[in-house]
Amino acid sequence: MPPKAKISREMIIEAAYEIVRESGEENMNARNIAEKLGCSTQPVLYAFKTMDEIRENVYQKADEFHSEYLMQMSESDKNPTAAIWKNYIRFSVYEKNLFRFLFQSNAFSGRIQGLIEDERLVPILQAMGSQMGMEASDVKKFFAALYYPVHGIASLLANNSMEYDEDEFDIVISMIKRGVLKELESEKNA
């Protein structure tokens, strides 16, 4: 008789991540993870103290995937700011369950500053600053001001049967961008 395959923590995290991605956080439990791995719940419950510990690890994995997704730029993306916002909205459309898990759970509370300070975003913020002739502090204000309405659009798409029309959202984001830039300029002149 062959030896039983060892179920690692990484395998459990991967299985739980796939469950969240395919069918939502509400379906991530020891029984479903064990079923996905083809084992009993014992290895799952032995490897992690609680389901919250699994959830935290899956959140971290989903957050890393999301960050990579945001930073994917094509050669046609001449405007890094617009590319990030488009990718953020696309993520909510094509990865609805991960979007909900990342941004519509208590795990996301208080992280907007963390998002802006993320070292993976630094090159983008620097490119935005040089492209727009802005200082670093203004770039961060600009990014934060755009984040909220873009997140609202993404949330509507992730939670409703709204039709995704990239051209329409490009126009809306462009209008918001102009308004934020105008406000930042008036702050400087005040």
Could you tell me what percent of the chain has a pLDDT over 90?
49
Whole-number Å distance between alpha carbons of 114 and 152: 19
pTM metric for this prediction: 0.84
| Distance, CA of 128 to CA of 150 (rounded, Å) | 17
Angle, vertex CA 134, rays to CA 79 and CA 69, nearest 5: 35
Q: Give the chain's count of helices (H) and strands (E).
A: 10, 0
Question: How far is residue 5 from each of residues 37, 107, 126, measured CA to CA in Å?
Answer: 10, 33, 48
Three-state secondary structure call for residue 39: coil
pLDDT above 60 for 182: yes
pLDDT at residue 32 tops 90: yes
pLDDT at 109 over 60: no
**Can you read off the two tokens belonging to residue 105?**
């759970």
The CATH topology of domain 1-61 is Arc Repressor Mutant, subunit A (1.10.10)
- In the chain, where are the structural domains located? 1-61, 71-189
pLDDT of residue 113: 66
pLDDT reported for residue 96: 96
> What pLDDT shows up at residue 160?
86
Is residue 110 pLDDT above 70, yes or no? no
In this prediction, residues 55-74 reach a mean pLDDT of 90
The pLDDT of 149-166, averaged and rounded, is 90
If you average pLDDT over residues 112-119, what whole number do you get? 70
Q: What average pLDDT does this structure show over 149-177?
A: 90
Q: Is 32 exposed, middle or buried (0-12, 13-18, 19+ CB in 10 A)?
A: middle
Name the residue with higher pLDDT: 123 or 29.
Answer: 29
Q: Mind giving me the DSSP string for 60-98?
A: HHHHHHHHHHHT---TT---HHHHHHHHHHHHHHHSHHH
Rounded mean pLDDT, 38-67: 94
Q: Residue 2: pLDDT band by 50, 70, 90 thresholds?
A: low
pLDDT of residue 24: 96
Closest CA to 135 of 70, 83, 188, 82: 188
